[in-house]
């Protein structure tokens, strides 16, 4: 069975401080993993993806994620938060032709 667990439903950081959004997955096979972002009243946008190449994946807007097979984790990080990063973030695992979403983490960025 495939599933995704986002460990925090809400994360609050100050502008300019690091961001860490945590994701653990379970998968029967070698997974493909993604992070998507959803701004209010906007569609889901791909931030980055892991598809069995480099374990450290760089995405848009300065975000990165590291695939750790031993920990079954794919945490999303950014060195310095910006006000425009405030949004909801979804970790996604793909197995065969289906994509499974986590329940989301809402990121609040304080000035």
Partner 1 sequence: DTGVSQNPRHKITKRGQNVTFRCDPISEHNRLYWYRQTLGQGPEFLTYFQNEAQLEKSRLLSDRFSAERPKGSFSTLEIQRTEQGDSAMYLCASSLDGQELFFGEGSRLTVL
* Site residues, partner 1 (CB under 8 A): 4, 34, 36, 41-46, 49, 90, 94, 96-104
Q: What is the widest separation between alpha-carbon atoms in the chain?
A: 42
10-14/105-110 β-pairing: parallel
In this complex, which beta carbon is closest to partner 1, that of residue 3 or of residue 14? 3
User: Two tokens at 108?
Assistant: 């609040």
Q: Residue 25: enclosing H or E segment and its boundaries?
A: strand 23-26
In this complex, which beta carbon is closest to partner 1, that of residue 15 or of residue 72? 72
| Residue 103: CB minimum distance to partner 1, A | 5
User: Two tokens at 21?
Assistant: 């959004």
| Residue 71: CB minimum distance to partner 1, A | 21
In this complex, which beta carbon is closest to partner 1, that of residue 15 or of residue 64? 64
């Amino acid at each position: 069975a495939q599933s995704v667990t986002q460990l925090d439903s809400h994360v609050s950081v100050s502008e300019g401080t690091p961001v860490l959004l945590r994701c653990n997955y379970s998968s029967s096979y070698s997974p493909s993993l993604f992070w998507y972002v959803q701004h209010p009243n906007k569609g889901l946008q791909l931030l980055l993806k892991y598809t069995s190449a480099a374990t450290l994946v760089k995405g848009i807007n300065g975000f990165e994620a590291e695939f750790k097979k031993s920990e079954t984790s794919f945490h999303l990080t950014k060195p310095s938060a910006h006000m425009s990063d405030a949004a909801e973030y979804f970790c996604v695992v793909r197995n065969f032709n289906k994509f499974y979403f986590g329940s989301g983490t809402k990121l609040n960025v304080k000035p």
